[in-house]
A and B are shown apart, each in its own frame.
Chain A
Amino acid sequence: MPLDMAKYRRLFLEESAEHLGEIGHALLALEKELAAAEAIDTVFRMAHSIKSMAASLGFEGIAELAHRMEDRMEGVRRDGRVRGPEELALLFRALETLESMVATVADDREPAPADPALLVALGEASPAEGGASAAPAASRVDPPKKVRP
């Protein structure tokens, strides 16, 4: 039986709005304290969740941007802190872009691909703030193939 994708689209819009709000609050907390562990974890989990929902609905642009944000936050989690104002500004920019893309879905339009420059920036660290947090998507591998007996 095919899934009722209209229902999941509604759920996506509801849950994404909540998640984007949580990311916003978490980034504001990180603005005050760059090592706020709970805020770092929240941004990571919310980006992950948006990625999975968007991919399920075929919103590839949203899924890709959320994936890059998740990867970036995985690096932040490893480091235990956001590296500085530049990295925080990049995360705010990613949030604003995600909000705009989700709003496009709410308007019954297909979201455009995310700005390639933003995707690249999320995949690499700024020289002023130190080493890379995440590899570009092209260098990653897919989940393990289902070859086990």
Chain B
Amino acid sequence: MLALTIALASTLSAPAAHSFCGFYVASGNAKLFNKASKVVLVRDGDRTVLTMASDFKGDPEEFALVVPVPVVLERGQIHVGDPKAVDHLDAYTAPRLVEYFDPDPCQMRAMGEAMGMRKMAVAPMAAQDAARERSLGVRVEARYTVGEYDILILSARESSGLEQWLEIHGYRVPEGAGRVLASYLHQGMKFFVAKVNLAEKAKLGYSYLRPLQMAFESPKFMLPLRLGMVNADGPQEMFVYALTRNGRVETTNYRTIRLPSDAEIPEFVKDEFPDFYRAMFAEQHRQAGGDAVFLEYAWDMSWCDPCASDPLSREELAGLGVFWLNTGIAPPGQLGIVPPGAPQFVPPGNPQEVFVTRLHVRYDARHFPEDLLFQETGDRTNFQGRFVIHHPFRGQSECDGIGDYRRQVRDRRAKEAETLADLTGWDLRRIYRKMGGEQAWADPPEKSRKWWDWMWQKQ
């Protein structure tokens, strides 16, 4: 029997980000989360191109995907994509950690300048019997083999017929799915059913499942979540990467809120940035009441600063279904890689044709009773989940101003610890322990707290 993966599944990402404009530090990409689905939504007007990447790791024979779709898809509307492009998009939009190094305070003093701290590093991360079928009211609208997948487009009169049809054909339909299938049928939706064609897969020689893509025209700008929640044990994770022409995408039936950004956090987070990202997201999700969608990145695709990964090339974007690029006026390569060290801004007159929005949803049936509905806004304001660490100056230096600098560092470290505790819900004393006492020039951060600060604190 095939396991019915009624969900928008997800793929394991390829190696993460590489180096570019500065030193690679860390990225919070989607593979940090278990069972995280990745969906790329390309939308302009009523045209949608949907790419679903699956992180299915079991026997390919066990893989099946059922997605409600608004229209019957023709063969040319279905495609198998390149997982690397999805992973690249994930790395490009991931929350990032940037680090700055304090200069020698004495030297600065000697220079007689009150210069700000210089930015040193950036970047991160990163069917058989026809008569029987008719009796079930199920109609196979189309049947295709695309790449390593066998695809069916089904329409049905009754959900019970569809459920029976799926079971007869070897799909294990989870309990409770019938009602959800019925509600989609009543809305005139069709079902896109995909399973792996083992012979084709062997012929093609892929060891992993490539993302499935579909292109269709419909006013519905939405993602069906409800089927995926039928047999889910606990909340599920989904990353939506929307590629649009005008601006940021947001949900219209749930709150879209921004992930905290630009927070200054302790140095040790550099070594455990994935843990930090997971804990921070969990805490923010909890604080928001569990029913919000998080905006993690919104940026014009032609540049980035700092870059968690290079912007996607024109070819990668086209592969993901950005159909308007072909008619664009930008010469090839303009949306390409920004060489390390190159100024990361868009030259005047450079067409800004693709705007990327990364949304992170942790959903369960209680908090997300209905499917996600989206709208494209005219907001082209850039936003990124960005976290900052400041390394104090650790060199040997003595001057009159060193005492002031040490006090500043101590206060700054205390504040960083509190920010981290607020963001992640981590225990403050544990944070202090991890930050370490260091040397005399940078007292442990708890020294800047008064004795009464600890008194009534629930630890």
A and B associate in one complex: no
Q: Give B contacts to A, CB under 8 Å.
A: none
Q: Give A contacts to B, CB under 8 Å.
A: none
